[in-house]
Amino acid sequence: MAVTRTPFIAGNWKMNLDHLQAIAFVQKLAWSLADARHDFADAEVAVFPPFTDLRSVQTLVAADSLPIAYGAQDVSAHDSGAYTGEVSGAFLAALDCSYTIIGHSERRTYHHETDATVNAKVQAAHRHGIVPVVCVGETAEDLERHGASAVPVKQLRSALEGVDGSKGLVVAYEPVWAIGSGQAATPEQAEKVAAALREVIAELLGDQVADATRILYGGSVKATNIASFLREPNVDGALVGGASLDIDEFTSIVRFKKHVGA
Ligand code: PGA
């Protein structure tokens, strides 16, 4: 059976743009995509601003019926209570967030998030009807020691333990050494790991979920290399950091179909 997964281009803003800048940015991005006559059947577009921007982005997207999805960069494993500084999935759902990133390597590194934390956060997102964008990826040292797929496969196995596959899932393969380095993985390498990750999903959540799940590549994605990743059968989009903050560049990434045949 032929699978159709709508490509997904996600902009991870990280800790950039306050709520006023976010409003201007999303407005301009919508204009830029409209100017380019972007067909959203070719690629779904989502932005992941800081928590403090989400209410403003929600208001703008709803008021102007913009075809841009949005989500958070993290979610608490807990729903409410004495967890200072945490943000509940219930609050994100109340802001109509469709997605939340979980287990980004910067959270794993700077906030010591473990595979168990990532799993608990995936379940928390699902409790509130939010689709997790689960990030996995190996460090340069892991790559040298174990090859490219061993660590991402282990991380994904743990992230998906006991998870209900019917509640939606996006996976992002982001080699840690490729993030913000200007040195992206090769498309062949991304494909190899994405295929291994899809097998994990099939094994744990079934073939149907595996077929439907979008697997993104992330790490130094730019307008000049996006098409080569999207040509791979198991790569269904990109999680874009730095380049998602430049409207022309991000628009060009979203419009990868224009350069995919090149
Ligand atoms: P980058 O970041 O595109 O700046 O490499 C990707 C990410 O961290 O999601």
Q: Which string of DSSP letters, residue by residue, matches 41-56?
A: TT-EEEEE--GGGHHH
* Cα separation, 5 vs 22, whole angstroms: 28
* Cα separation, 162 vs 232, whole angstroms: 29
Is residue 249 annotated as part of the catalytic site, yes or no? no
Whose CA is closest to atom 6 on ligand 1? 241
> For the domain 8-14+21-259, what is the CATH superfamily, name and number?
Aldolase class I (3.20.20.70)
Q: Which residue has the tokens 């198991």?
A: 234
Tell me the DSSP string of 147-170: -SSHHHHHHHHHHTTT--GGG--E
What average pLDDT score do residues 124-134 get?
Answer: 98
Burial, 11: exposed, middle or buried (Cβ in 10 Å; 0-12, 13-18, 19+)?
buried
- At 258, is the pLDDT very low, low, confident or very high (cuts 50, 70, 90)? confident
Q: Which residue has the tokens 């928390």?
A: 124
Phi (first) and psi of residue 134, to 5 degrees: -85, 120
> Cα 71 to chain center, whole Å?
9
* Cα separation, 247 vs 219, whole angstroms: 18
CB of 115 within 8 A of CB of 158? yes
CB of 22 within 8 A of CB of 252? no
CA of 175 to the centre of ligand 1 (A): 10
Per-residue pLDDT of 162-207, as tens digits, reads 999 999 999 999 999 999 999 999 999 999 999 999 999 999 999 9
Count other C-beta atoms under 10 Å from residue 164's C-beta: 14
The pLDDT value recorded for residue 262 is 44
DSSP-based three-state secondary structure for 78? coil
* Cα separation, 44 vs 13, whole angstroms: 17
**Nearest ligand 1 atom, CA 220:** 5
* Cα separation, 257 vs 262, whole angstroms: 9
Residues framing ligand 1 (Cβ under 6 A): 12, 174, 179-180, 218-221, 239-243
> pLDDT averaged over the chain?
96
Is residue 141 annotated as part of the catalytic site, yes or no? no
DSSP-based three-state secondary structure for 7? coil
DSSP-based three-state secondary structure for 133? strand
Per-residue pLDDT of 65-84, as tens digits, reads 999 999 999 999 999 999 99
Catalytically annotated residue among 106, 113, 174, 232: 174
CA of 258 to the centre of ligand 1 (A): 22
Q: Is this structure's pTM higher than 0.85? A: yes
Q: Output the CA–CA distances (angstroms, integers) from residue 2 to 75, 142, 171, 229, 237, in the order listed.
A: 34, 35, 20, 20, 18
**Nearest ligand 1 atom, CA 179:** 5
Percent of the chain at pLDDT exceeding 70: 98
Domain ranges (residues) in the chain: 8-14+21-259
What average pLDDT score do residues 222-228 get?
Answer: 97
